[in-house]
């Protein structure tokens, strides 16, 4: 017979790697959000357009299937830059909706009840914390944007042959770069808003708001001042310009020069990071 | 002493819808320092708010020095209240806060200023009087609350956890303040969790649990009334066995427990008087080296344990 | 023995205000109580050791690791229980403690086991499956303690652990802290305004005033030095008792009619007092060596500056 006494014991076991520790944060965020069936359903819906695109690609290269479906060959959609750009646009829009659902709940629960000191008293710097929260969104968005689209690209390449691959490698670069720029913009915006705004619906609405107000204000400035620089607050416009350049190598007429669009986007990310760093402090020092 | 000198709570019950606040409480509080003790959620804040007139009882009557809450302008001249919550209007300095509060009493500018300043002096906040309350540390905010409560020189002070957040020095100063006020005849009603301080400063104690008053009165008196618990006395000495043997020869000893290190014992006896007189003799007869003697359960903490136990504090 | 904390001219400034002024010393106590008036810099010192503020000058070391360069290693070894409310309302107790454990480096499977063990140890039973937002104050404090010890830190920093707790909850917290200290594997720093808490849990005491260390001493030694001071409570005729005691050479001070503080000279023993009591049919209801050592130490340290204010 043995009587077991349970008292406090120190921990002497193995530890996980410090540099990858921030990934704990996305893991817990996913446990929470995928618990909601609505979200799960929405997430799965995001994979439908790539599936449709895959079907298009398959049909392009499969004459027999075309015959069965009785689709004349000249009515097929060409698989080119426009094709991928359109689908990227669709996926990013769906991702936008996901971000407004996921983003607001990332940081505000930690700040509402002063839990940040508990995080920061662990081997987790402010940078790690921010990285963890942002990557929760980045990973999620990656899964529905550049990853499926890159798979589509390589699927088409397999179907069309290596020549097509090398001729159109620019497209793959455009997909990855375009998706990442957009993911960074939206993730930083969502996380920054989550840190500043306590109520989730309002934070979500504000994400929309930034785009709509930015768009409206930008258009207003452009009209009133007869210029194009108003578009610097119009994120959607800047993204369009950036993508167009990435996919087709051309600037957008009657609009901002390409370099300024990129600069504007980078600037926007910088502002979000600044806002985030202001809020993520272990303790406020109140001055009299 | 008539009802005009006391705070009288007459068969008061307070319910929040179905939820119990306090039930059938009867109290009659004389001048001096009275402490209200009980677990969180027992009804302390409810009771204090009822006495202050911030809540109306569902049943029963309350009068403070003969004044009911039906004439608030008269009642609040006699009453000062310090809540346990930490909330202030934004943008005010300490002096402005108390000055504004005093102006509500209809005092002239000069008088209000003077009394505000003197209240701040009493709590030692004169250095920070012109800084915003928002920038105060926790201890300073607590002190400004106290200053507000005493600023209009009330006869009755109702203080909900007044020592919360104060450093040891400030605690001693505030306790001295309460004792001064009580010596002048004021009613000081304090709610507190720090039982050894309650023991030290209170004249009377009210124990409350689950909305009922479980015991009330002078702590020694309360203890004496609890006969189902014989008095526990602790003795630290070099030969506890000798004490134990002698004790068992008498019939007042109920239980003796030796301390683990063999340097003392705990005795439960039905008659503390007899035991202590007996102890005098034992020390001399057996040549004992006594290190300490103390009643183990004659204080608020023990009474609390017996009457309330760990009930209210359950997680 | 390696010191737990080393302070090397540590200076912290907030804007133009110097909050910690060149603190120096090597502290190797197992349980250190941190005391001081409001604004003395206690919380700032704790936060600096955790790496929340960079020093303006000088540095500090915890277990030999520098707080400026090796803060992650330090944070591996520290558990922190902050003074203010600190929780995530939407998480259940078990998930919260588990996430904190994983953030401290425990592998996920072990983290779950440890979290349950720790929650059991602090006494949160079924409540661990409820959301933290629904907890009472005592439970939230226990959850805070649980997240501080789940990764088995070598140094536990507790800031006002009994804040707002009712007497039974306070007892439970104190006995848990004493138990943790007794295992010998964890050093403690306890910052509190309640001298009782520090007396019950700590062996050494550090008192800060206006950003400087004014006292660092060992409580046990202080208590031993107080052997000649006695406190008594009697029932009976105080006056004759006191007179006779004074004739023996004791100095007496009477408070409240029945409380007596005495200083015994070399040749007088407690037995002599008992013979006086036996003679006069007086009951000595309470007798002990002065226990106010910490109160005295504190007040002496604050001398010359009574009622001063800090920002």
The Cα of A283 is separated from the nearest Cα of chain B by a number of Å equal to 14
Mean pLDDT is lowest, of B287-301, C169-183, C215-229, C233-247, for: C215-229
pLDDT per residue as tens digits for the range C23-45: 888 888 889 999 988 878 888 89
Task: Count Cβ atoms within 10 A of the Cβ of residue C292 and give its class: 0-12 exposed, 13-18 middle, 19 or more buried.
Answer: middle
The Cα of B134 is separated from the nearest Cα of chain A by a number of Å equal to 8
| B81 plus B147 within the same structural domain | yes
The CA-atom distances, in angstroms, between A41 and each of A45, A46, B34, C97 are 6, 9, 62, 30
Say yes or no to pLDDT of A1 above 60: no
pLDDT per residue as tens digits for the range B152-200: 999 999 999 999 888 888 888 899 999 999 999 899 999 998 888 888 8
| B293 plus B252 within the same structural domain | yes
| Residue B245 falls inside a structural domain | yes
Q: Is the Cβ pair B131, A288 closer than 8 Å?
A: yes
pLDDT per residue as tens digits for the range C141-168: 999 999 999 988 999 999 999 988 888 8
User: Regarding predicted confidence, which is higher, A60 or B82?
Assistant: B82
Mean pLDDT for all residues in chain C:
86
Residue of B161, B92, B128 whose CA lies nearest to C309: B128
Q: Is the Cβ pair C127, B127 closer than 8 Å?
A: no
- Indicate which CATH number applies to the domain containing B87: 3.40.50.300
| Residue B76 falls inside a structural domain | yes
Mean pLDDT for all residues in chain B:
86
CA A207, CA A186: separation in Å to the nearest integer? 8
The Cα of A123 is separated from the nearest Cα of chain C by a number of Å equal to 5
Query: B112 and B102 in contact (C-beta within 8 Å)?
Result: yes
CA B86, CA B96: separation in Å to the nearest integer? 17
Q: What is the distance between the terminal CA atoms of chain C, rounded to a whole angstrom?
A: 37
| B209 plus B280 within the same structural domain | no
Instruction: Give the pLDDT confidence score for residue A139 in this predicted structure.
Output: 94
| B137 plus B206 within the same structural domain | yes
Instruction: Give the pLDDT confidence score for residue A282 in this predicted structure.
Output: 66
Query: C59 and C34 in contact (C-beta within 8 Å)?
Result: no
With bands split at pLDDT 50, 70 and 90, how would you rate the model's confidence at B269? confident
| Residue B311 falls inside a structural domain | no
| Sheet containing B264-269, strands listed edge to edge, beginning at the edge strand earlier in sequence | B253-258, B264-269, B231-237, B290-295, C283-289, C229-235, C259-263, C251-255
Secondary structure (3-state) at A88: helix
| B157 plus B298 within the same structural domain | no
Q: Determine the residue of chain B that is closest to A285 in CA distance.
A: B135
User: Which chain C residues contact residue B289 at CB under 8 A?
Assistant: 270-271
| Residue B313 falls inside a structural domain | no
Instruction: Give the pLDDT confidence score for residue B110 in this predicted structure.
Output: 92
Residue of B60, B12, B3 whose CA lies nearest to B212: B12
Is the pTM value of this prediction over 0.95?
no
Minimum-distance CB partner of A7 among C72, C183, C311? C183
The range of the structural domain enclosing residue B266 comes to 224-304
| B260 plus B298 within the same structural domain | yes
Report DSSP letters for A148-196, one per residue: HHHHHHHHHHHHH-HHHHHHTHHHHHHHHHHHHHHHHHHHHHHHHHHHH
Per the structure, how many domains does chain B have? 2
- Among B220, B250, B265, where does a domain finish? B220
- Indicate which CATH number applies to the domain containing B228: 3.30.70.100
Say yes or no to pLDDT of B292 above 90: no
The residues facing B187 across adjacent strands are B32, B156
Chains that touch B (3 or more CB pairs under 8 A): A, C
Q: Is the Cβ pair C195, B168 closer than 8 Å?
A: yes
Mutate to test the interface with B, among C309, C310, C311 (most CBs of B within 10 A): C309
User: Regarding predicted confidence, which is higher, C305 or A84?
Assistant: A84
The residues facing B22 across adjacent strands are B14
Element (H, E) at C94: helix C93-103
The residues facing C205 across adjacent strands are C33, C217
Q: What count of other Cβ atoms lies within 10 Å of the Cβ of residue C303?
A: 9
Mean pLDDT is lowest, of B57-61, B176-180, B256-260, for: B256-260
CA A65, CA A189: separation in Å to the nearest integer? 45
| Residue B156 falls inside a structural domain | yes
With bands split at pLDDT 50, 70 and 90, how would you rate the model's confidence at C311? very low
Say yes or no to pLDDT of B248 above 60: yes
ipTM of this complex prediction, to 2 decimal places: 0.83
CA geometry: angle at B146 spanning C306 and C86, to 5°? 90
Average pLDDT over residues B106-127: 90
| B170 plus B43 within the same structural domain | yes
Secondary structure (3-state) at A58: helix
Instruction: Give the pLDDT confidence score for residue C168 in this predicted structure.
Output: 84
pLDDT per residue as tens digits for the range C84-120: 888 998 899 999 999 999 999 888 888 898 899 899 8
What stretches of chain B adopt beta strand conformation (E)? Answer: 7-16, 19-29, 32-37, 59-64, 79-82, 156-160, 187-191, 204-209, 212-217, 231-237, 253-258, 264-269, 290-295
User: Regarding predicted confidence, which is higher, A229 or B216?
Assistant: B216
User: Regarding predicted confidence, which is higher, C232 or C309?
Assistant: C232
Q: Is the Cβ pair C82, A110 closer than 8 Å?
A: no
Minimum-distance CB partner of B137 among C278, C284, C310? C310
User: Regarding predicted confidence, which is higher, C99 or B41?
Assistant: C99
Mean pLDDT for all residues in chain A:
84
Pairing of β C212-218 and β B253-258: unpaired
| Residue B137 falls inside a structural domain | yes
Percent of chain C clearing pLDDT 70 (strictly above): 95
Say yes or no to pLDDT of C20 above 80: yes
User: Regarding predicted confidence, which is higher, A13 or A179?
Assistant: A179
Say yes or no to pLDDT of A198 above 60: yes
Q: Determine the residue of chain B that is closest to A284 in CA distance.
A: B135
| B74 plus B30 within the same structural domain | yes
User: Which chain A residues contact residue C151 at CB under 8 A?
Assistant: 11, 122
Can you read off the two tokens belonging to residue B136? 């105060």
Say yes or no to pLDDT of A60 above 70: yes
pLDDT per residue as tens digits for the range C184-234: 888 999 999 888 889 889 989 999 988 888 888 888 887 776 667 888 888
| B187 plus B106 within the same structural domain | yes
Chains that touch C (3 or more CB pairs under 8 A): A, B
The CA-atom distances, in angstroms, between C221 and each of A154, B291, C75, C205 are 78, 17, 32, 11
Mean pLDDT is lowest, of A7-16, C93-102, C241-250, for: A7-16
- Among B187, B220, B253, where does a domain finish? B220
User: Which chain C residues contact residue B277 at CB under 8 A?
Assistant: 281, 283
With bands split at pLDDT 50, 70 and 90, how would you rate the model's confidence at B150? very high
| B239 plus B178 within the same structural domain | no
| Residue B195 falls inside a structural domain | yes
| Residue B24 falls inside a structural domain | yes
The Cα of C172 is separated from the nearest Cα of chain A by a number of Å equal to 14
A positions 259-288 inside 8 Å of B (CB): 286-288
A240 in reach of chain C (CB within 8 A)? no
Mutate to test the interface with B, among C166, C207, C291, C298 (most CBs of B within 10 A): C166
User: Which chain B residues contact residue A283 at CB under 8 A?
Assistant: none
Q: Is the Cβ pair B131, A287 closer than 8 Å?
A: no
Task: Count Cβ atoms within 10 A of the Cβ of residue B70 and give its class: 0-12 exposed, 13-18 middle, 19 or more buried.
Answer: exposed
Instruction: Give the pLDDT confidence score for residue C278 in this predicted structure.
Output: 85
| B130 plus B244 within the same structural domain | no
CA geometry: angle at A217 spanning A211 and A223, to 5°? 135
With bands split at pLDDT 50, 70 and 90, how would you rate the model's confidence at A135? very high
Query: B97 and B177 in contact (C-beta within 8 Å)?
Result: no
User: Which chain B residues contact residue C166 at CB under 8 A?
Assistant: 38-40, 193, 312-313
Say yes or no to pLDDT of A143 above 90: yes
| B158 plus B243 within the same structural domain | no
Can you read off the two tokens belonging to residue B298? 């004659």
CA C164, CA B308: separation in Å to the nearest integer? 18
Say yes or no to pLDDT of A134 above 90: yes
- Among B204, B220, B236, where does a domain finish? B220
CA C205, CA C214: separation in Å to the nearest integer? 11
């Amino acid at each position: 017979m043995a009587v077991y006494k349970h008292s406090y014991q120190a921990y002497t076991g193995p530890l996980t790697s410090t540099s990858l520790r921030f990934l704990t944060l996305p893991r817990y965020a996913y446990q929470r959000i995928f618990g909601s069936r609505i979200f799960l359903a929405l997430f799965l819906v995001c994979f439908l357009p790539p599936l449709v695109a895959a079907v298009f690609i398959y049909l392009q290269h499969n004459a027999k299937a075309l015959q069965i479906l009785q689709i004349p060959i000249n009515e097929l959609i060409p698989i080119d830059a426009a094709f991928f750009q359109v689908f990227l646009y669709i996926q990013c829009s769906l991702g936008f909706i996901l971000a407004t659902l996921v983003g607001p709940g990332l940081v505000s629960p930690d700040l509402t009840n002063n839990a940040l000191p508990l995080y920061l008293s662990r081997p987790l710097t402010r940078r790690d914390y921010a990285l963890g929260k942002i990557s929760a969104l980045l990973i999620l968005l990656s899964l529905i944007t550049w990853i499926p689209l890159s798979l589509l690209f390589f699927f088409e390449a397999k179907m069309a042959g290596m020549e097509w691959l090398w001729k159109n490698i620019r497209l793959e670069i455009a997909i990855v770069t375009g998706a990442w720029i957009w993911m960074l913009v939206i993730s930083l915006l969502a996380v920054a808003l989550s840190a500043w705004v306590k109520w989730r619906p309002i934070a979500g609405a504000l994400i929309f708001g930034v785009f709509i107000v930015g768009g409206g204000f930008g258009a207003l400035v452009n009209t009133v001042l007869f210029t194009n620089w108003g578009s610097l607050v119009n994120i959607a416009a800047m993204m369009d310009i950036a993508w167009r350049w990435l996919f087709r190598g051309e600037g957008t007429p009657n609009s901002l020069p390409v370099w300024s669009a990129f600069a504007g986007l980078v600037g926007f990310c910088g502002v979000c990071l600044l806002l985030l760093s202001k809020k993520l402090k272990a303790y406020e020092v109140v001055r009299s | 002493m008539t009802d005009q000198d006391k705070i009288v709570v007459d068969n008061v019950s307070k319910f929040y819808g179905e939820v119990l606040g306090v039930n059938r409480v009867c109290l009659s509080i004389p001048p001096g320092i009275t402490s209200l003790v009980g677990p969180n959620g027992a009804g302390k804040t409810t009771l204090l708010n009822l006495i202050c007139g911030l809540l109306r009882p569902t049943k029963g009557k309350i009068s403070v020095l003969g004044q009911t809450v039906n004439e608030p302008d008269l009642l609040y001249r006699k009453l000062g209240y310090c809540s346990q919550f930490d909330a202030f209007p934004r943008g005010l300095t300490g002096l402005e806060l108390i000055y504004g509060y005093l102006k509500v009493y209809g005092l002239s500018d000069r008088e209000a200023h003077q009394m505000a300043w003197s209240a701040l002096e009493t709590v030692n906040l004169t250095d920070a009087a012109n800084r915003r309350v928002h920038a105060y540390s926790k201890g300073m905010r607590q002190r400004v609350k106290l200053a507000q409560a005493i600023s209009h020189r009330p006869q009755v002070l109702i203080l909900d956890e007044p020592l919360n957040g104060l450093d040891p020095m400030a605690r001693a100063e505030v306790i001295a303040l309460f004792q001064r006020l009580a010596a002048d005849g004021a009613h000081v009603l304090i709610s507190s969790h720090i039982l050894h301080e309650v023991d030290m400063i209170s004249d009377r104690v009210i124990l409350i649990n689950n909305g009922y008053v479980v015991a009330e009165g002078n702590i020694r008196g309360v203890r004496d009334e609890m006969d189902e618990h014989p008095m526990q006395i602790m003795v630290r000495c070099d030969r506890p066995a000798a004490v134990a043997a002698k004790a068992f020869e008498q019939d007042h000893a109920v239980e003796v427990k030796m301390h683990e290190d063999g340097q003392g014992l705990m005795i439960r006896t039905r008659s503390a008087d007899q035991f202590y007189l007996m102890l005098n003799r034992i020390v001399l007869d057996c040549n004992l080296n006594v290190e300490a003697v103390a009643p183990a359960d004659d204080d608020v903490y023990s009474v609390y344990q017996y009457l309330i136990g760990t009930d209210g504090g359950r997680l | 023995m390696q010191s737990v904390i080393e302070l090397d001219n540590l200076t912290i400034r907030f804007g133009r205000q110097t909050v910690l002024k060149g603190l120096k010393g090597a502290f190797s106590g197992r349980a250190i109580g941190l005391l001081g008036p409001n604004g003395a810099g206690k919380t700032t010192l704790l936060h600096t050791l955790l790496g929340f503020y960079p020093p303006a000058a000088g540095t500090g070391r915890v277990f030999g690791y520098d707080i400026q360069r090796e803060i992650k290693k330090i944070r591996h070894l520290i558990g922190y229980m902050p003074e203010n409310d600190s929780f995530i309302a939407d998480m259940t107790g078990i998930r919260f403690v588990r996430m904190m454990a994983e953030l401290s480096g425990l592998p996920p499977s072990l983290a779950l086991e440890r979290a349950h063990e720790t929650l059991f140890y602090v006494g949160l039973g079924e409540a661990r499956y409820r959301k933290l937002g629904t907890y009472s104050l005592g439970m939230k404090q226990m959850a805070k303690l649980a997240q501080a010890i789940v990764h088995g830190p070598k140094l536990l920093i507790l800031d006002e652990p009994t804040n707002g707790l009712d007497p039974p909850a306070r007892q439970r917290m104190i006995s848990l802290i004493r138990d943790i200290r007794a295992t010998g594997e964890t050093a403690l720093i306890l910052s509190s305004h309640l001298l009782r808490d520090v007396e019950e849990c700590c062996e050494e005491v550090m008192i800060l005033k206006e950003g400087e260390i004014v006292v660092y001493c060992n409580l046990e030694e202080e208590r031993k030095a107080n052997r000649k001071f006695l406190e008594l409570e009697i029932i009976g005729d105080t006056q004759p008792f006191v007179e006779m005691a004074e004739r023996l050479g004791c100095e007496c001070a009477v408070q409240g009619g029945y409380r007596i503080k005495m200083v015994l000279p070399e040749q007088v023993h407690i037995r002599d007092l008992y013979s006086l009591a036996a003679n006069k049919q007086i009951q000595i209801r309470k007798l002990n060596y002065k226990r106010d050592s910490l109160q005295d130490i504190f007040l002496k340290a604050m001398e010359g500056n009574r009622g001063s204010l800090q920002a």
